[in-house]
A = this chain, B = another copy of it.
Amino acid sequence: MNSIESRLKDLGIDLPDAPKPVASYVPAVRTGNLLVVSGQLAFEDGLLASTGAVPSSTSVEDAISAARRCAINGIAVARSALEGDLDLIRRVVRLGVFVQSDAGFDAQPLVANGASDLMVEVFGEAGRHARAAVGVSALPLDASVEIEFMFEVG
């Protein structure tokens, strides 16, 4: 078992199968040493647990969990794009975090930490990344959180 797979196992994280392409866009594109992963929602076993704006419809705590789940799904997509070898990831470069937010809610960084912390748990120092976190009025399927990813790969 390679080292990141082993780390995931230690953390008790079971990566889902990567979603199949359902449209003209695809889950991930590699260009040179960059792997660009499409915006991920917090699907778990086919269900989107957190919907609606934070905090009126989804609590901050649940949104943090949703961000963590988006990150797990992003790693699953990367694994599929890398034909199963997550050890090809040299660095998590960037997370773009969109939080469906009520007017006046300004703790998007706290929500985004659910994903950021997961990246460091899984990839260690290589998991530290640049990030933009913003609040938006609407997201696909009424999701509370959407996150896109850029990885450096070997």
Contacts and interface: CB of A to CB of B under 8 A. Distances in A.
A11 interface: no
B130 A36 contact: yes
A29 B94 contact: yes
B93 A131 contact: no
Copy total for this chain? 3
Interface of A: 21, 23-29, 31-34, 36-39, 91-96, 98-99, 101-109, 112-113, 116-117, 119-120, 127-143, 146, 148, 150, 152
Contacts of A21: 128
A61 B25 CA distance: 19
Contacts of A116: 23-25
Contacts of A131: 25, 38-39
